[in-house]
Amino acid sequence: MTSDANGSHIELDDACLSDESYLEKYLGPRRSSVFLPVCLTYLFIFLVGVMGNVLTCTVIARNKVMWTPTNYYLFSLAVSDLLVLLLGMPLELYELWQNYPSLLGKGGCYFKTFLFETVCLASILNVTALSVERYIAVVHPLRAKYVVTRTHAKRVILTVWGCLCCVLYQTQVYMGSTSFILNSPVQLGT
């Protein structure tokens, strides 16, 4: 082991590596080996998902007869799925294309993680709310007529999105105090 000017210890073998070799040794390859198959799969999922969710939102929004409590939940779920597709997938694909350094910097990395967790949790909470609403309708059909209303569905959906923001704000605060490997772990020579 040797010691450099800033006091960090570097193995002799590592001192002989080029910057690119050093990064590959400790952070892995810059581009994922499965980039092309994953990219093609993501492209298919992206196209089908965006078309399906946009059509769902359009049909529910344009036809007043579709404004039912269940369809409100489906609309909210389609919006959260669209957010996953439009905001999460491109960033995940970029990360497969170039693992490091992060395109958006440290703050952008935190924001990307926050954004992806937010939209994924939104989908989970919307499916849960829809499932509870369907459970009430099936198990308690007489009570469902009074409990499962459009106003109640709107309140539940707004509560889901509001709680989501509050809970994930705490996640963002926690993530800000942890460290991620975003760039080279040590200062490389010039």
pLDDT of 46 > 60? The answer is yes
pLDDT of 189 > 50? The answer is no
Q: Which residue has the tokens 């704000």?
A: 169
Identify whether 121 is part of a domain.
yes
Give residue 179's identity as a one-letter amino acid code. S
DSSP string, 122-168: HHHHHHHHHHHHHHHHHH-HHHHHHHS-HHHHHHHHHHHHHHHHHHH
pLDDT of 6 > 60? The answer is no
What was the pLDDT predicted at 147?
A: 81
CA 113 to chain centre: 6
Q: In terms of C-beta density within 10 A (0-12 exposed, 13-18 middle, 19 or more buried), how is residue 52 classed?
A: middle
**Residue 117: which of 70, 174, 61 has the closest Cα?**
174
Give residue 152's identity as a one-letter amino acid code. H
What was the pLDDT predicted at 174?
A: 63
Identify whether 129 is part of a domain.
yes
What was the pLDDT predicted at 188?
A: 39
CATH number at residue 134: 1.20.1070.10
pLDDT of 186 > 50? The answer is no
Identify whether 73 is part of a domain.
yes
What is the average per-residue pLDDT within 27-39?
A: 74
Domain hosting residue 132, numbered range: 27-176
Question: How many helices and strands, by DSSP H and E, does the chain display?
Answer: 8, 2
pLDDT of 65 > 90? The answer is yes
**Residue 43: which of 78, 83, 92 has the closest Cα?**
92
28 vs 58, residue with greater confidence: 58
Residue-wise pLDDT for 79-99, tens only, equals 989 988 888 788 777 777 676
**Residue 28: which of 164, 181, 156, 161 has the closest Cα?**
181
Identify whether 13 is part of a domain.
no
Q: Which residue has the tokens 């597709």?
A: 85
Residue-wise pLDDT for 113-171, tens only, equals 777 778 888 888 889 988 998 898 889 888 878 888 889 889 999 999 888 878 776 66
Identify whether 147 is part of a domain.
yes
Identify whether 182 is part of a domain.
no
Identify whether 7 is part of a domain.
no
Largest Cα span, the chain: 77
How far from each other are the two terminal CA atoms of the chain, in whole angstroms? 20
Is residue 106 very low, low, confident or very high in pLDDT (cuts 50, 70, 90)? Answer: confident
pLDDT of 11 > 70? The answer is no
> Dihedral angle at the C-alpha atoms of 137, 139, 143, 148, nearest 10 degrees?
-20
Is residue 57 very low, low, confident or very high in pLDDT (cuts 50, 70, 90)? Answer: very high
Number of structural domains in the chain: 1
184 neighbors 23 (Cβ within 8 angstroms): yes
Distance CA 74, CA 121 (A): 15
Identify whether 100 is part of a domain.
yes
